[in-house]
Amino acid sequence: MRTSDRNQAHDELLAVIRSVRRRWRLRRLLGGLAATGAAALGTGLLAVWTLDRLGDASAAAPWVRAAAGAVVALSAAWLLVRPLLRRASDEQIALYLEEHEPSLEAAVLSAIEARSAGGPSGSPVSDALLRRTLETAIRGVHATGDGRWIERGRLARGVAALLAVVVMGAFLGFIPGAGGRAARLLSSPRPAEAAEGVAVLV
């Protein structure tokens, strides 16, 4: 195998790895958005219920709003940002691919490691061995559809979960009075409204 052909085969294999990584990250993004949205809805409902019991003019109302905002921010950081910050190397994605397709028999991981300088064990890799390893890996990933099916089910479930959260939020917004309650959660009462509330209580 000429050097140019070997490099082309390696680039072709890396293209499959990058494609699997993109779908892996997209699945984590969809799951994080859905989980964060669900946490925000649940926190908002609890905060609105609490404000209804305490009253907007209560001294505890600002603390309820601050606590709700903090919970939503922490949920976004933990459920959305943290998973997206995780980086996966080519070797890790190759292993991930082979875990979902045992028929590859570690061919992809071996090809990635053998192509790196010195090979996986630090010893020189012969051109013949590298050629056979790359050819085996390329044939294997093409035979399994380049791994496009791996995240298909999880991506579909992620989209469905995100749509469910969006529909639920829209449904709650259309409930009579729900929009006003949500606005109360996001904004503090004006001084006149607070004074009026105190007057009514007195």
174, two tokens: 């259309």
Instruction: For the chain, give every domain's residue range.
Output: 3-201
Measured CA to CA in angstroms, residue 87 lies from 22, 80, 151, 168 at distances of 11, 14, 17, 32
Q: Phi-psi category of 73—alpha, beta or left, where left has phi over 0 and alpha has psi -120 to 50?
A: alpha
Dihedral sign computed on CA atoms, order 99, 103, 106, 112: negative
* pLDDT tens per residue across all 202 residues of the chain: 556 666 777 788 888 899 999 999 999 999 999 999 999 999 988 988 888 888 766 788 889 889 999 999 999 999 999 999 988 898 899 889 888 888 887 888 888 887 664 444 444 556 777 778 888 888 888 888 888 888 888 899 999 999 999 998 888 766 655 555 555 566 655 444 444 444 444 4
**pLDDT computed for residue 3 by the predictor:** 60
State the pLDDT at residue 182. 59
Residues in the chain: 202
Residue 43 · residue 68 · CB < 8 Å:
yes
Q: Residue 45's closest CA among 202, 194, 168?
A: 168
Handedness of CA 123, 127, 128, 131 (dihedral sign): positive
Distance from the first to the final alpha carbon of the chain: 91
CA distance 178 to 170: 10
Q: Which of 4, 6, 2 is nearest to 114 (CA)?
A: 6
pLDDT digits over 135-172, tens only? 888 888 888 888 888 888 889 999 999 999 999 888 87
